[in-house]
Amino acid sequence: MTLLLTQPLIVAFVAVLLAAGIILATERWRGRVRLRPAPDDGMVMLFDGDGLADATPAARDLLRAGGRSGDRLRDVLALLATRFPGIEGQIGALSAGTDTLRSAQSGDSVVVERWDGMTRLTLHAGGRGDSLRLAAIEAELTTLRAIAEDAPQLVWKTDASGAVIWANRAYLALADRLLLTAADAEWPVRPIFVLDGSGCQRLSLTLPETEAPVWYEVSSVPRGSQTVHFGIDATGTVTAEAQRRDFVQTLTKTFAHLRAGLAIFDRRRQLVLFNPAFLDLTGLRADFLSQRPRVQSVLDRLRDMQMLPEPKNYTSWRDQVAGIEAAAEQGTYCETWILPGGQTYRVSGRPHPDGAIAFILEDISDEVSLTRRFRMEQETAHAVLDLLPQAVAVFSVAGTMTLCNRAYDRLWGVGAGGLNDAVAPQEIARWRALSVTSPVWERITALLSPGGNRAPAAEVLQLTDGRMIDSRFTPLPGGSVLVEFHEAGAGLPLAMVGETGALLARTGT
């Protein structure tokens, strides 16, 4: 029983000893990586790998004086390289242990300790206690001076009265080009810009060797009682803006004289441009369009004004609108809108750069009416010709047969009335095959050939079945030729023949 009680106590005691040992080892390890104060100015930095783990206040002052955040080992080594050339390579070659680097010029030294991925740098100043800090400041100052002097932009500083108290090389070179006399070239240089005190302004200069002005974008930053100015050459920007403005004005004037309505929507499908013809054709108000409505809003307003084809239901109308927009993006939308008021519009959609789309409206009501009237007259002419007893055919100036009636089909066995793709040589061969050989065919061939003599003519043909056929060739306006065939003795009066030719001429056949 006593043995059973003793064993748990022994296990607990051993656990306590192990925990105490772990705590002690941890404290010892932590003690190893704590920063030990430097004997002189206390500039010590500890790095875990490449990151800064800790630094004394004096070391952080050094990093701030050098203009660096100091959160990486490589940044600190780059800062120290001005006093310790080759420090990066020496520290990189040291994997463990301690090494001391000295500066031959200033007598400064740095002690490097490395172990288990940890790096401790201890800096010791030589002759002057702040030599390292001053060196860092001088290095940063040298860099800033080089940046300001070598910058292609204009950089200069003015005092409270506006006088130039410092300027970089680019500013002085521009001043030399502008101020040509010896008095002007003396320092302090005369200001070459007249500033109004605003933060950013665009100013122009006229150089002696150039005709066009040179533009600069000048930004001013106050620094106490002084002001630092930065000037960037903006000539290219100003020229591009002027060209763009002229181009837009030209387009605006051109669009204003177009008879077709034009509306351009941007990639967000908001109206960005429209011409007066769009107002006239749609009847939309200018104040509504000036609010940059979306495509859907414009089409909805047109539907309310009965300026769109009326769909069977509103759901299908919404689908149709989506289809219009999608087709316009592909450049394939082109439809004819027959409006309830009797007008007819041709509407097409075209894609534009940057995802924009353009809609073009054309009033084709007169064109449609004229086409319908012409088609009706043409159909009337065909019906009249089909009622004539004689065979009639019309050949164009190029020798193509453009028209024949039913009597012609019956006489020559074509088998199809109306328009035909046959040409004069083909039809003449058909006539000759059904007729007796005669010298008349050479004259007919010459008469119907392109460029042939378009004088009225009449010939008598004899078919293989013995029938005698009177043929008449009458020129029509435009170079076409009307050909008539009828059996001998059954011809119509010449007056009716003339009326047939006039009807064909009026319909444009």
Identity of the residue numbered 132:
L
Q: What is the dihedral of CA 279, 336, 309, 366, to 10 degrees?
A: 60
Q: What is the pLDDT of residue 12?
A: 53
Identity of the residue numbered 169:
R
What separation in angstroms does the CA of 474 have from each of 63, 173, 185, 210, 381?
Answer: 108, 89, 96, 75, 17
**Model pLDDT for residues 61-75, shown as the tens digit of each residue:** 777 765 555 568 887
What is the average pLDDT across 145-166? 84
**Model pLDDT for residues 448-507, shown as the tens digit of each residue:** 887 777 788 888 888 988 889 999 999 888 888 999 999 876 544 433 444 444 444 454
Query: What's the CA gap between 431 and 425, in Å, rounded?
Result: 10
Long-range contacts of 47-56 (CB under 8 A, 24+ apart): 47/73, 47/76, 47/118, 47/119, 47/120, 47/121, 48/117, 48/118, 49/73, 49/117, 50/74, 52/76, 53/118
DSSP run (H or E) holding 187 = none
Ordered strands of the 344-351 beta sheet:
271-274, 261-265, 357-363, 344-351, 333-338
**Model pLDDT for residues 160-202, shown as the tens digit of each residue:** 888 888 889 889 888 888 865 444 556 667 788 888 877 889 9
Helix pair 365-387, 494-506: axis angle to 10 deg: 160
Confidence of residue 302 (pLDDT cuts 50, 70, 90): confident
For the chain, where do the domains classified as CATH 3.30.450.20 start and end? 259-363, 373-506
What separation in angstroms does the CA of 187 have from each of 150, 152, 172, 183?
Answer: 20, 21, 10, 9
- CB atoms near residue 473 (< 10 Å): 20
Query: What's the CA gap between 298 and 471, in Å, rounded?
Result: 64
- As given in the structure block, the two tokens for residue 332 are 């394939």
Whether the CB-CB separation of 452 and 446 falls below 8 Å is answered with yes
Residue 42, C-beta contacts closer than 8 angstroms, at least 6 positions apart = 56, 57, 58, 59
Beta strands in 31-94 (DSSP E): 43-48, 51-55
Could you tell me the pTM of the whole model? 0.45
Ordered strands of the 457-462 beta sheet:
401-404, 391-395, 481-487, 468-475, 457-462
Domain 43-138 listed as CATH 1.10.10: no
What totals of helices (H) and strands (E) does the chain contain, helices first? 17, 20
User: Above 80 in pLDDT, residue 379?
Assistant: yes
- As given in the structure block, the two tokens for residue 430 are 């058909």
Helices (H), 423-464: 424-433, 440-448
Q: Calculate the average pLDDT of the chain.
A: 78
Confidence of residue 314 (pLDDT cuts 50, 70, 90): low
Q: What is the DSSP letter of 68?
A: -
Q: Tell me the torsion sign for CA atoms 377, 335, 263, 353.
A: negative
CATH architecture of 373-506: 2-Layer Sandwich (3.30)
Confidence of residue 96 (pLDDT cuts 50, 70, 90): confident
| CATH code of the domain made up of 259-363 | 3.30.450.20
Of 25-34, 105-114, 216-225, the one with minimum mean pLDDT is: 25-34
Query: What's the CA gap between 497 and 486, in Å, rounded?
Result: 12
DSSP run (H or E) holding 320 = helix 314-330
Confidence of residue 416 (pLDDT cuts 50, 70, 90): very low
Which among 400, 414, 404 is positioned nearest to 381, based on CA atoms? 404
Whether the CB-CB separation of 447 and 456 falls below 8 Å is answered with no
Match domain 151-237 to its CATH number in 3.30.450, 3.40.50, 3.40.1000, 2.30.30.
Answer: 3.30.450
What is the average pLDDT across 388-395? 90
Q: What is the pLDDT of residue 316?
A: 67
- CB-hemisphere CA count at 13 Å for 231? 26
Q: What is the dihedral of CA 246, 248, 250, 255, to 10 degrees?
A: -170
Of 26-35, 156-165, 404-413, 438-447, the one with minimum mean pLDDT is: 26-35
Ordered strands of the 97-102 beta sheet:
51-55, 43-48, 118-124, 109-115, 97-102
**Model pLDDT for residues 220-263, shown as the tens digit of each residue:** 999 888 899 999 999 999 999 989 888 878 877 888 888 889 99
Q: What is the pLDDT of residue 230?
A: 93
